Amino acid sequence: MDISIVVPLLNEEESLQELHDWIAKVMQSNRFSYEILFIDDGSDDSSWAIIEALSKSNKSVKGIRFQRNYGKSQALNAAFKEVSGDVVITMDADLQDSPDEIPDLFNMIKDEDFDLISGWKKKRYDSKIRKNLPSKLFNAAARKTSGLSLHDFNCGLKAYKKDVVKNVDVYGEMHRYIPVLAKNAGFQKIGEKVVIHQARKYGTTKFGMDRFINGFLDLITINFLTKFGKRPMHLFGLLGTMVFIIGFLSSIIIGVSKIIKLYQQKPAILITDNPWFFIALTCMVLGSQLFLAGFLGELILRSKRKQKRYSVSDKLNLSND
């Protein structure tokens, strides 16, 4: 199969038929073999009923329905486990991503041997205050910390080699950072393409300003995990040891100072009346806790098993229906 198109959605009943027809037209005109995988992330409108109807008229349409809303990352994670196309393309269901971009994205992956192509909505039709400005700040921070020179990390329109989606674990709200996850997994040829961004035709956006706060927090998380996710003892063990040594040496200095003053018959306060004693004691306690945190982190990593982060209620046209 040439292309798997992954479409996560939440309450997009008005746009699904139009999006399907548009994708099918592009696929047929380019003679691609394809599948369209809709992931209903807990919609409470008629989205799933529409997907069921589409699957009956077009066997290339497949679907996954979550029991409730788990988020875009979990939707992509579930889809990536099921796709079978040589090239996987993700796009939003709100018609702001144009299916006409698919042939060029496909060719960049197949002919130019890119591992991943991220869309860049250079000209946007979103609110400048709610999305444009926060998005620019977010992307600037992501570029600085990740080392990837992408302009639009959060663009839903992306193309991947099949190997990429099978080797990245998307969870939490990490869908924004799939290029970073791919880079960390060893896929180095990551490019960018300017894509058309269309004004929303139906409904309202499902994302608020809190997504940018979460985005920055996730950025900190992914950078921490990149450096220390597989070796927590290297961070917590080192910090714990250093802090403990500082506290231990300080307590020795305090004790030796008291002994010297007593030997010289000079007045000396009780060690427990010395505020530096409690600072030294606190350092030793904190150092021990940090070291134990690193040790426990190592144990957890060695016993960790991948757990499912979502619950599926229905599937359509998939091998394990």
The two beta strands, 190-194 and 116-120, are: parallel
Contact yes or no for 101/119 (Cβ under 8 A) = yes
Tokens of 264: 């010289």
Q: What is the average per-residue pLDDT within 270-275? A: 82
Q: Which of 6, 35, 53, 62 is nearest to 318 (CA)?
A: 62
Helix pair 16-29, 102-110: axis angle to 10 deg: 50
**Model pLDDT for residues 236-255, shown as the tens digit of each residue:** 888 899 999 999 999 999 88
| pTM exceeds 0.75, yes or no | no
Q: Which of 111, 113, 115, 135 is nearest to 197 (CA)?
A: 135
Q: Which helix (H) or strand (E) holds 118?
A: strand 116-120
The answer to whether domain 3-228 has CATH 3.90.550.10 is yes
**24-28, 37-41, 126-130, 168-172: least confidently modelled range:** 126-130
- Whole-angstrom Cα distance, residue 130 to residue 153? 17
Question: How confident is residue 185, by pLDDT bands cut at 50, 70 and 90?
Answer: confident
The domains of the chain are located at 3-228, 232-303
